[in-house]
A and B are shown apart, each in its own frame.
Chain A
Amino acid sequence: MLAMVIDDSRAMRSILRRIVTELGFECVEAADGQDALDKMSEGPVPDLALIDWNMPVLDGLSFVTSVRENRDWRDVTLMMVTTEGEHAQIVRALAAGAHEYVIKPFTPDAIQEKLQLLGLVGVEA
């Protein structure tokens, strides 16, 4: 399984990369929404994208909208990981097609548990 971590902060990408790698994902990084779209067009298409909201060039919400408009990318699971915590923003992201939402700050457990909900990581019975 391939995860793409999309965040303009290298430090945050590094933190998220460690978490998803620990959970068994291969990981690629993108520094903004446009960079992510470019990398997805080149391939390989990730199974999971972890998406910051506020980024230069192309923000995370616009990225989600673009991905959802492309039928070739409909299997990509989209999870926002952002400091935008207002109720209205969460609703906007879900309406645009994001599947899950993690609010910064988060603990590594939170990423794992969300991926369990999405069926991308197993749960011990």
Chain B
Amino acid sequence: MSVLALAPEEFKSLVDEVWASLLVPVPVDADRVNGEAATFVAGFVEIQGGWVGRVSVETTDRGAVAIASQMLMVPSEELTQADLVDAVGELANIVGGSVKSCVEGHSTLSLPAVVPVDEVGGHEAQLEVVSQWQEHPLRVRVLAVA
């Protein structure tokens, strides 16, 4: 039986590295998710193998626009819905791949999907990192299948 060998502080440093390599300025730590009123989107990938679960990258709609704008270097008013899905999905792919590498034994990573945050599924959050990028909240969760 394989397991996910990833301590919370290692997960945190892994997420910080993804942010540091992709977003300027570097996101800062936050105690909790701000922006209660806003709607959230989630990009997630599924890991299949000895450990089964999902890795989900979540932000507000406006956060997704800002992220896509920076990754694509395209002004926000020119972005399409497909661009937002692409950018948030790629973040989930990168974080998810790093998490997958910490699962013992061989496992596979699904292509990313992007959904409203409620639809990520009723899984139990095993690891979580919350940060803030400019005024946008960012949350990354590792969800084991219950």
Contacts and interface: CB of A to CB of B under 8 A. Distances in A.
| A and B touching (Cβ–Cβ under 8 A) | yes
B94 A15 contact: no
Contacts of A88: 106
Nearest to A108: B21
A56 B111 contact: yes
Nearest to A14: B72
Interface string B100-126: 110000100101000000000000000
Please classify how large the interface on chain B is, using the bins under 10, 10 to 19, 20 to 34, 35 or more. 20 to 34
A83 B68 contact: no
Contacts of A11: 68, 71-72, 83, 86-87, 90
A33 to B, nearest CB: 13
- Interface of B, secondary structure class, is helix
Interface residues of A, number: 21
B73 interface: yes
Contact of B94 (A8, A83, A107): A83
Contact of B93 (A10, A14, A54, A56): A54
Given A14-B73, A104-B97, 10 more contacts: A11-B68, A14-B72, A56-B111, A85-B97, A85-B98, A86-B101, A104-B98, A105-B18, A105-B20, A106-B21
B15 to A, nearest CB: 10
Contacts of B96: 83
Nearest to A107: B21
Interface of A is mostly: loop
Contacts of B73: 14, 18
Nearest to B101: A85
Interface string A1-16: 0000000111110110
B93 A83 contact: yes
10 contacts: A10-B86, A11-B71, A11-B86, A55-B111, A83-B98, A85-B98, A86-B100, A86-B101, A104-B97, A105-B20
